[in-house]
Structure 1
Amino acid sequence: MTHEQEWDEEYDVIVVGSGGGALTGAYLAARAGLDTVVVERTGRLGGTSSYSGGAMWLPGSPVQRRDGVPDSTESARTYLRALLDDSAEAKLETFLAQAPALVERLEQDPALTFTFQAFPDYYERPGRVPGGRSFVPRALDPAELGDDLLALIRPPLDRDRAGQDHDTSAPLTAGRALIGRLLLAYHRTGHGAVTTDTVMDELAATPRRVTGILATRQGRRIRIGARRGVLLAAGGFEHNERLRGVHGVPGRSDCSMAPAGTNLGEPVEAAVALGAATDLMHEGWWCPGVRMPDGRPAFVCGFTGGLVVDANGSRYANESLPYDRFGREIQAEPDRTPSFVVYDSRTGGRLPAVTQPPWGDPSAHLDSGTLVKADTLEELAGILGVDAGRLTATVARFNSFADNGKDEEFAREADEFGHWFGDPVLRPVREAPYYAARIVLSDLGTKGGLVTDTSARVLREDGTPIAGLYAAGNTSASFTGPFYPGPGIPLGTAMLFASRATADMSA
C-alpha cells in the first residue's frame, strides 16, 4: 500500500490502544502538530488503566519535589539496580533520565495536574523511599470533560461490569482521572481524533517500513495510513486463552482484571508476522483476585486481618505482601488456587483489606457462594472442603503469633508495606461467626511482548528496528522482567516509552 488513494483514512501517527501510555503518546504527538488518531477496539477508552489506581512511578519529578518527598533519580537508580539485572541497563537509564522531563512537559498543560500519594515501594532494597515515590492525577470534575468526552471513558469497574454508565455526580478519580485528563489535553490540541469499536489485526508495510494498519469497524475492513509511524500500546494478551497456553502464562483469561473484550493480543501477533522479536511472553503483573457474585475476580490488596490458606488449610505466605509478590506465591503450587482468606466477625462480613472492590451487602456474596459463613472453624472447613484439623491448627498457630505481635512463619509484621494499611498487622481470628472468601490467581495484564529499543522502536530478532513501528506498555516486553518494583511502574514506563516513540516520530 504505497499510494495515498489506497487508504480509507490517513494520519501522521496512529496509536493503537487507549490506556495511559497510549494517550500520553497520542497527546504528545498531537501537541507536536502531528495529525493523530487513537484506535480503540472497544466502545470505551482507558482499558485496564481506567480500572487502576492511576499511580505513576516516574521518579525525580517536580511532583515529588513539591511535596517534599525524599526521592531522586539517583535513589531510584540504586533501587532498580538492586532488583534488575544488567540486561535492563539501557532502558533503565533512559527511563530515569527522561522521567522528570516528561512530567514537567505534561504539567505544562493545565489539564494535566498531579499530586503525590503515599504508597510504599514493593521491595526492601537500597534506594527505597519511605512512603513511596509514586503520584496520581488530581480528581476531575465530569463537567470539565463535557458529555461527549465523558461518554468515551470507561466507567468504574463495578459499574462497567454491571453495564451501568458513569455517576455524573461524582468526580473521576484514580485511573479514570488519568484517562480523562489525557483525553481532555489530547482533544484540545486540535490534532487528535479517536475511533472506537475498531479492531486492528494487521500492519500494512512496504519492504522498507510500516505504513499503516488494517482493521475491522462495524463489519467493514478499513485501511488507515500512517505517514510518520504506528505506536502499538494496546495492552497485552491476557484475555486470549490460546496465547496464554502457547506461552505458558499462569492463570486463566477469565481471571484477568482487564475489561471484557480487551487485550486479545492482535497487535503483538501483527508485529510478529512482520518479523518482530518478543520476550517475557510467560510473564504477567500478578495479583490475588477475590471472586465476586458475578463469577469474575476483582483485585484485592493489603489484608488488615485474617489469614490466607490453601486447599489444605495451611498458610503459605505473608498475607501483607505486595500484590504481585503474593500472586507469585499463589502460582508457585497448584493447591493454592483457589485459596481462602479466613477472618472473623469483627468486619461484619466485609473483607479485611484496604484495596478491594465495592463489597456492598455480604448477603449477595453469601448467596453466590463466593463468601461462606459458619459458627465454628470446623463447620467452615467442611463447607470449603478443607481438612478441619489442619485449618483449626493453622488458625490457632496464627492467633498465637498475633497475641505475641510476631509472625514466626512469614514475618508479616516486618515490612513497611504491611504496616502501611494499619496496625496491628496481625489480628487474631477468634470471634464467631467465621467467614472465608475465595481467592484466585489474577493479573493486571501480561507483561511480555514486543522487544523494543530505548526509543520504543520494535526490533527484529537480529536487533534491527522495523521502521515506522513502535510499541509501549504491555504490548512491549517490560524492562523490569519478573519484578514489579512499586506502584505505578506499569503506567510510568508505558507513558515514558510512548513519549519516546512519538518524539522519534516527530524528529
Structure 2
Amino acid sequence: MTQEWDEEYDVVVVGSGGGALTGAYLAARAGLDTVVVERTGSLGGTSSYSGGAMWLPGTSVQRRAGVPDSTESARTYLRALLGDSGEAKRETFLAQAPALVERLEEDPALTFAFQVFPDYYERPGRVPGGRSFIPRALDPAELGDALLALVRPPLDRDRAGQGNDPSAPLTAGRALIGRLLLAYHRTGHGTVTTDTVMDELVGTPERVTGIVATRQGRRVRIGARKGVLLAAGGFEHNERLRGVHGVPGRSDCSMAPAGTNLGEPVEAAVALGAATDLMHEGWWCPGVRMPDGQRAFVCGFTGGLVVDANGSRYANESLPYDRFGREIQAAPDRTPSFLVHDFRTRGKLPAVTQPPWGDPAAHLEAGTLVKADTLEELAGLIGVNADRLTETVERFNGFADNGKDEEFGREVDEFGHWFGDPVLHPVREAPYYAARIVLCDLGTKGGLVTDASARVLREDGTPIAGLYAAGNTSASFTGHVYPGPGIPLGTAMVFASLAADDMAG
C-alpha cells in the first residue's frame, strides 16, 4: 500500500538510550539513513543516569585487563541462575557480545575500560571482581556544543532544570550516550529528532512500515523503508499500566527521567497483535526520599542497619540493589523501611551509591531524615516499637563487635566487600538518625516478546515484519533475575545491534 509520509528514512529508532543509540549507530554505519526519535528534549533516558556498566562477557575489554572471564564461564553462570529459560536468546547474547564490542571499538569514539563490579550472585561461573566494564570519560569539547546540548544532564542538574556544564567531562552513563551519539553523528547517515512522541505504528499485523508521532502539537508520519526499532524503555512512569499489570511500587518512585517511559511504543505494538511477557516485573532497588519529594536510588550500605515497620531487620543490607528491592516487596510491613545509623555519619547516608544527598539539615527540616538522642526517641519519631528497635540494634551491635553477621551474613559475599571493609559498624552513640527507605525501580522489565534477532513476535510466535524491539521495551530473557551490573544495558545493546544487522540485510 502506498503511504504518504512527512519524513522517510531507512530505519526509525524510537528511544535514545544505550540500546537505541547502538542500533542507530550500526544501522547508520551500514549506510542506512537512520533517525532517532526521542520524546523529550534530551537524549539518553535512564541510560544517562546509570553508572554506564555493560555486562558483555568474553570480550577484548576483559582480556586487556587480565580478567579471567570467558563466554563459557558466563554461560555457566547464567545457566546456574536461569536454568533453561530463554536459552535461545541467551546463547545469541553470549555469542554476539564479543563481536559487538569488537565492532564498536573499531570506531575511535567508542572506547571502554574494565571496572571492578562483582556479579550479583554467588553461583558457578561468577568471576572474581566481575566482568562488567564502562565507557571512558569523554571531554565535552570532543562532542562540541551542538551534540553536548543533546545529551541529558547529570541527574541533579537535570532535576533542577539546569543544562550540561561544558567544563565537566561526561562520565558513566552520560559518557556512553555521548560516545554513541558522536559515533552516530560521524557516520553522516544519522538524524536526531527530539520532543517527538511516538504513539502509533503504521502497517498491518503482517508488516510495519513507519510510525506516527506528535511534534510541536502536530501529527507527523515517519516512514521506515527497512524497519522500526522500538528501544524507548518501559512503562514505569505510567501509573495506569502499572496498575493493569500489577507492577509493585509507584510511578513516582521510578529512577527514569521525568517525562520518559510512559509505554506508548509497547501499546502501539500490542495494537498490531504483538505478544508481551513479564509485564509485572521490574529492575528493583531501594530508594530514599529527597527534600523536594522526589525519590533517589541508594545501595551498598556501609554502615547502620535497615529495619521494617516493626523495628526488625529482614535482609543483608549489602545485597545487590535488585535483590534488596525484592526483599522489600516480600512483606507489606517492609514499606517503608528505615536506615538507622548513628553519630559517625553526621546525618549523611552510609552508602556507596547514593543521590546528591546535600546538607543533612535540609533533610531534617523536610522530614526525610529524623534525628534523636536515644533509640527510644528515634523509634517514636519513625513509628516503630521502641523495645523491638532497641533489641534489634543491640543484636546487630553484637554482630558488628564480633565482625560476623550471624543473622544475614552481611560480611560474607564478595559484593558486600566491594563496598569496603568492614561492612559492619555498631550503632551505639548518639545522635541517632533514620532515613526512610522505599521500593524504587530502574525501569519495568516486561515488554514485547522478541526472537533472537530482536524481531517482535505475535501471540502465535511468528514475527511482525519490519518491527524490532530491544532494552526495556522488550521482555528480558533474564526473567525474574538480575544477574550482574550492566546486564540491562548489555542485552539492550546486543539485541539492538542484531536488529540493525537484520535491517541492513
Q: 2:191 aligns with which of 190, 193, 209?
A: 193
What is the aligned partner in structure 2 of residue 164 from structure 1?
162
What is the aligned partner in structure 2 of residue 461 from structure 1?
459
- Secondary structure (helix, strand or coil) at the match of 2:222 reads strand
What is the aligned partner in structure 2 of residue 312 from structure 1?
310
* TM-score after normalising by structure 2: 0.99
Question: 1:358: how far off?
Answer: 1.1
Contact 2:205 2:464 in 1 (8 A): no
What is the aligned partner in structure 2 of residue 29 from structure 1?
27
Residues 355-388 of structure 1 show CA distances to partners (whole Å, capped at 9, x for unaligned) of 1111121111111110111111111111111111
Partner Cα distance (1:335, 1:214) in 2: 45
What is the one-letter code of the residue matched to 2:125? G
What is the aligned partner in structure 1 of residue 13 from structure 2?
15
What is the aligned partner in structure 2 of residue 215 from structure 1?
213
Once the two structures are superposed, the pairs formed by residues 29-178 of structure 1 within 5 Å of their partners are: 29-178=27-176
Partner Cα distance (1:265, 1:433) in 2: 45
What is the aligned partner in structure 2 of residue 422 from structure 1?
420
Partner Cα distance (1:67, 1:207) in 2: 47
Unaligned ranges ≥5, structure 2: none
Residues 157-200 of structure 1 show CA distances to partners (whole Å, capped at 9, x for unaligned) of 11111111112221000000000000000000000000000000
What is the aligned partner in structure 2 of residue 494 from structure 1?
492
Residues 262-308 of structure 1 show CA distances to partners (whole Å, capped at 9, x for unaligned) of 00000000000000000000000000001111111111111100000
- Secondary structure (helix, strand or coil) at the match of 2:86 reads helix
Question: 1:207: how far off?
Answer: 6.0
What is the aligned partner in structure 2 of residue 391 from structure 1?
389
Partner Cα distance (2:383, 2:178) in 1: 46
Partner Cα distance (1:220, 1:302) in 2: 46
Partner Cα distance (1:273, 1:437) in 2: 43
Question: 1:206: how far off?
Answer: 4.1
Once the two structures are superposed, the pairs formed by residues 361-440 of structure 1 within 5 Å of their partners are: 361-440=359-438
Partner Cα distance (1:176, 1:439) in 2: 27
- Secondary structure (helix, strand or coil) at the match of 1:286 reads strand
Unaligned ranges ≥5, structure 1: none
Question: 1:501: how far off?
Answer: 0.3
What is the aligned partner in structure 1 of residue 2 from structure 2?
3
Q: 1:292 aligns with which of 287, 290, 299?
A: 290
Contact 2:298 2:354 in 1 (8 A): yes
- Secondary structure (helix, strand or coil) at the match of 1:367 reads helix
Question: 1:87: how far off?
Answer: 2.6
Residues 193-246 of structure 1 show CA distances to partners (whole Å, capped at 9, x for unaligned) of 000000000000046410000010011011000000000000000000010001
What is the one-letter code of the residue matched to 2:260? T
Contact 2:109 2:183 in 1 (8 A): yes
What is the aligned partner in structure 1 of residue 270 from structure 2?
272
Contact 2:235 2:262 in 1 (8 A): yes
Question: 1:425: how far off?
Answer: 1.0
**Greater CA deviation, 199-208 or 357-366?**
199-208
Q: 1:184 aligns with which of 182, 185, 193?
A: 182
Partner Cα distance (2:121, 2:427) in 1: 28
Partner Cα distance (1:270, 1:495) in 2: 22
Residues 383-425 of structure 1 show CA distances to partners (whole Å, capped at 9, x for unaligned) of 1111111111110010011111111111111100001111111
Partner Cα distance (1:463, 1:383) in 2: 55
Partner Cα distance (1:363, 1:246) in 2: 40
What is the one-letter code of the residue matched to 1:385? G
Moved over 2 A (4+): none
- Secondary structure (helix, strand or coil) at the match of 2:85 reads helix
What is the aligned partner in structure 2 of residue 301 from structure 1?
299
What is the one-letter code of the residue matched to 2:102? E
Give the number of aligned pairs: 505
Partner Cα distance (1:71, 1:456) in 2: 26
Partner Cα distance (1:147, 1:439) in 2: 39
What is the one-letter code of the residue matched to 1:410? F
**Greater CA deviation, 46-55 or 357-366?**
357-366
What is the aligned partner in structure 1 of residue 354 from structure 2?
356
Question: 1:347: how far off?
Answer: 1.7
Once the two structures are superposed, the pairs formed by residues 477-492 of structure 1 within 5 Å of their partners are: 477-492=475-490
Contact 2:205 2:273 in 1 (8 A): no
What is the aligned partner in structure 2 of residue 227 from structure 1?
225
What is the one-letter code of the residue matched to 1:79? Y
Question: 1:3: how far off?
Answer: 2.6
Match status 1:505 vs 2:503: yes
Partner Cα distance (1:477, 1:494) in 2: 11
Partner Cα distance (1:148, 1:368) in 2: 38
What is the one-letter code of the residue matched to 1:335? D
The two structures, once aligned, show a CA RMSD in angstroms of 0.8
What is the one-letter code of the residue matched to 1:331? Q
Question: 1:496: how far off?
Answer: 0.2
What is the one-letter code of the residue matched to 2:349? L
Partner Cα distance (2:248, 2:387) in 1: 31
Residues 304-347 of structure 1 show CA distances to partners (whole Å, capped at 9, x for unaligned) of 00000011111010000000000000011111111110001112
Residues 35-66 of structure 1 show CA distances to partners (whole Å, capped at 9, x for unaligned) of 00000000100000000000000000000000
- Secondary structure (helix, strand or coil) at the match of 1:13 reads strand
Identity within the alignment, %: 89
* TM-score after normalising by structure 1: 0.99
